Amino acid sequence: MSRPPRNAVQLPSGGRTVAPPGTEAIALPRGESVADKKISLFHLLLKDRFASVAALVLVFVGLTAVFGPTLMGDLSTRQDLGATNRPPFSFSDGWAFVLGSDSLGRSMLARLVVATQTTLSVALPAVAISLVIGSLWGLWAGYHRGWRETVSMRIADVIMSFPSLLLAVVILYVFSPSAANIVLILAVTRIPIYLRTARAESAELQSRTFVDAARTFGTKPNAIIRRHVIPVVLPTLLTLATIEFCYVMLAESSLSFLGIGIQPPDVSWGLMVAQGRQYLQTAWWLSFFPGLAIMVTTVAANVLAAWLRIATDPAQRWRLTLPRKRLLVRLPVEEVL
């Protein structure tokens, strides 16, 4: 009796085996993976209207920051004492004054544009610095554990247990409020956030089996961190950075408002709000528009961050691709017997 083919269904009738007819012909189409088809992050973004709008807003703000000041020329500094405190929404003085003018007759629109550049040129570097330093530090601490981890966490505790705004005010008062100092102090106070998150993720990952496997192959710690840990942690960190951008922007605005941030003749959104404070009753737009700019940018960044959190987590991504719940009509069923 010949040996039955390996995958034949064996029917209990004297050893006769039958290969399912046509199994050779039925082969699953090659190339189609069982997992979800890879949808690029970009397409996923387009599917969510809110997130797309938010991204668009941020791109617009970014472009304004880069190209706006050159376009505006010297409009932001040109004083026109005959046209002070003009109200917005009228073209009678030309398009430059569509958002009104301030107490020195300068165009609000132009000042807003230039302020965009200043604000972003403080916020973005601060976020970048704290992200890089905090994350690398946290990854290293979380991977090695032991005293490195404890010391790092204690340092983070110290920095975080104190209201950062107050710390910033004191330090800027001592060391004079230049843009570079602001960037530095904001970066330093936000490092603990990345430090903690990166450490927590790194510590949790390093106890996982795949890291042990890499270790038994003799992979050096830095390589392990680079190849195994960072790819997993990166999405969380980037999402965090987007949220941190909001905070840093708000912090800079608050500092400038208190008078300890960007100093005149430079202009930032926070500073503009402060400068418009005394004219609240007569010229509300002086404080209103800069604050609105802050708010819109922050909202956009928050929306994008919320979307990022889901989109970069493979376990959650499916939520963005579900078909909508339709109102299903129950079909009438025959009587129960």
Partner 1 sequence: MRTATVSVPRASMIDDDVVLTVTGLNVDLRTPKGVLRAVNDVSFEALSGRTLALLGESGCGKSMTAKAVAGLLDPVADVTGGTVVLGGTDLAALTPKGRLAYAGPELGIVFQDALTALNPVYTVGTQLGEAFRIHEGLSAKAAKVKAIELMRRVGIPEPESRVDSFPHQFSGGMRQRILIAMAVALNPRLLIADEPTTALDVTVQAQIMKLLRDLRTESHMAVVLITHDLALVAEEADTVAVMYAGNVVETGPVKEVFGTPHHPYTRGLLDSVPADVGRGEDLTSIAGSPPELHRIPDGCVYQSRCPLVQDICRAIRPTLEPDGAGRAVACHFSEELDNV
Partner 2 sequence: MLTFLRRRIVSSALPLLVVVLGVFALARLTGNPASLYLPLNATAEMRANFTAKYGFDDPLLVQMAHYFGGVLRLDFGESLRTGESAAAMALRAFPATLQLAGTTMLLAVVLAVIVGSWAALKPNGIADRISSFVSMAAASVPDFWLAIMGIWVFAITLGWVPTSGVGGATSWILPIATLLLRPFGVLVQIVRGAMVTSLSEPYIKLARSKGASEFRVVTRHALRNAAAPALTVAGDLTVSLVNGAVVVESIFGWPGIGKLMIDSILQRDFAVLQAAVLLTAVSIFILNILIDLGYAGLDARVRPAGRRKKSSRAVSAVAAEPKERKIHVQTTP
Q: Can you give the binding site for partner 2, defined by CB under 8 A?
A: 50, 153-154, 157-158, 160-166, 169-171, 173-174, 193, 196, 199-201, 204, 236, 239-240, 243-244, 246-247, 250, 253-254, 257-258, 270, 273-274, 277, 280-281, 284, 287-288, 290-291, 294-295, 298-299, 301-303, 305-306, 309, 319
The CB-of-335 to partner 1 minimum distance in angstroms stands at: 10
DSSP output for 103-138? TT--BHHHHHHHHHHHHHHHHHHHHHHHHHHHHHHH
Contact 149, 199 (CB under 8 A): yes
Tokens of residue 56, six digits: 């668009």
Quick one: what does residue 67 bind among partner 2, partner 1, none, with the CB cut-off 5 to 8 Å set by partner type? none
Q: Contact 261/270 with Cβ under 8 angstroms?
A: yes
Q: Which residues, including other chains, have CB under 8 Å from residue 57's CB and lie 6 or more apart?
A: 296, 297, 300
Give the nearer residue to partner 2 in terms of CB position, either 107 or 119. 119
Query: Out of partner 1, partner 2, none, which partner does residue 78 contact, by CB within 5 to 8 A per kind?
Result: none
| Smallest separation, CB 181 to partner 2 (Å) | 13
Shortest Å, Cβ 311 to partner 1: 13
Cα(274)–Cα(253) distance, integer angstroms: 9
Binding-site member from 2, 21, 43, 74 for partner 1 (CB under 8 A): 21
Q: Which of 6, 38, 49, 154 binds partner 1 (CB under 8 A)?
A: 6
Exposure string of 276-292, with b = 16+ CB inside 10 Å and e = fewer, is beebeeebebbbbbbbe
- Say which amino acid occupies 315: A
**CB under 8 A: which stretch of 123-131, 163-171, 198-206, 320-328 binds partner 1?**
320-328
